[in-house]
């Protein structure tokens, strides 16, 4: 059996963000579903550095006109973190599904979310990492076998825009 070693050369793989201060949580829920499934989303935000981190969370309801979204302003002291359990209900009094847009007033803030089934016996869920709002570009790549260089594959570049409606 021959062993193949494949070398991948990525000529350009860069992410260019328009604003490093805006993050989009693509999935959030406070919804009751079939078989007594109760979907809930928890949000955790932390500070970076030695300064307080003021920020705004915007509720972007699924299937709604979000030109003027409901907002919630918060601030975290330096070196602290804030956890908002079932953020849609506790922060907005909202039932349904949505996206969340988090905008740091000054500097950047790391954030994470977890959407899960709120079951008294056990909790099942998964984290949904935030996406920075902006435009991302991935350059073309070349895939070539070291032992058979005549077999070469090329990929095209791709552009992805993350926006919160």
pLDDT digits (tens, 9 = 90+) for 57-90: 999 999 999 999 999 999 999 889 999 999 999 9
> What one-character-per-residue DSSP string does 82-119 give?
EEETTHHHHHH---EEEEEEEEESSS---EEEEEEE--
Q: What is the pLDDT of residues 7-26, one digit of tens each?
A: 222 222 222 223 347 888 88
The confidence score (pLDDT) of residue 14 equals: 24
| Segments forming the whole domain that contains residue 118 | 19-132
pTM of the model: 0.69
Q: Are 78 and 50 in contact (CB under 8 A)?
A: yes
Q: What sign has the CA pseudo-torsion 20, 47, 55, 64?
A: positive
123 and 143 together in one domain: no
Q: Are residues 42 and 119 in the same domain?
A: yes
Q: Which two tokens stand for residue 64?
A: 């709604």
CA 4 vs CA 7, 144, 147, 148, 153: distances in Å: 10, 11, 7, 9, 15
How do 141-145 and 152-154 pair as beta strands? antiparallel
Whether residues 103 and 162 fall in one domain: no
Of the pLDDT bands very low, low, confident and very high (cuts 50, 70, 90), residue 165 is low
123: pLDDT strictly greater than 80: no
* Same-domain status, 101 and 63: yes
pLDDT at 20: 43
Q: Are residues 14 and 28 in the same domain?
A: no
Q: What is the pLDDT of residue 109?
A: 86
DSSP 118-132: --SS--EEEEE--EE
Look up the CATH number of the domain holding residue 62: 2.60.290.11
What is the predicted pLDDT for the residue at 161? 73
Tokens linked to 47: 């500070």
Tally: H helices and E strands in the chain:
1, 15
Residue 2 and residue 80 share a domain: no
User: Pairing between strand 131-132 and 96-104?
Assistant: unpaired
Mean pLDDT along residues 115-141: 78
| 36 three-class SS | helix
Residue 135 pLDDT > 80, yes or no? no
Tell whether 6 and 23 lie within a shared domain. no
Same domain, 152 and 105: no
Indicate if 88 and 9 belong to the same structural domain. Answer: no
Indicate if the pLDDT at residue 104 is higher than 80: yes
């Amino acid at each position: 059996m021959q062993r193949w070693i494949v070398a991948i050369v990525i000529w350009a793989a860069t992410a260019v963000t328009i604003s490093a201060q805006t993050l989009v949580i693509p999935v959030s829920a406070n919804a009751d579903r079939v078989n007594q499934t109760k979907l809930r989303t928890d949000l955790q935000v932390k500070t970076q550095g030695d300064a307080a981190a003021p920020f705004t969370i915007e509720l972007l309801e699924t299937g709604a006109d979000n030109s003027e979204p409901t907002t919630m302003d918060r601030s975290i002291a330096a070196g602290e973190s804030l956890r908002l359990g079932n953020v849609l209900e506790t922060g907005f009094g909202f039932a349904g599904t949505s996206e969340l847009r988090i905008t740091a007033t000054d500097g950047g803030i790391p954030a994470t979310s977890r959407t899960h089934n709120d079951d008294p016996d056990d909790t099942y869920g998964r984290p949904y990492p935030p996406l920075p709002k902006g435009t991302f570009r991935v350059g073309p790549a070349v895939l070539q076998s070291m032992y058979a260089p005549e077999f070469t594959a090329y990929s095209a570049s791709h552009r992805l825009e993350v926006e919160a409606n």
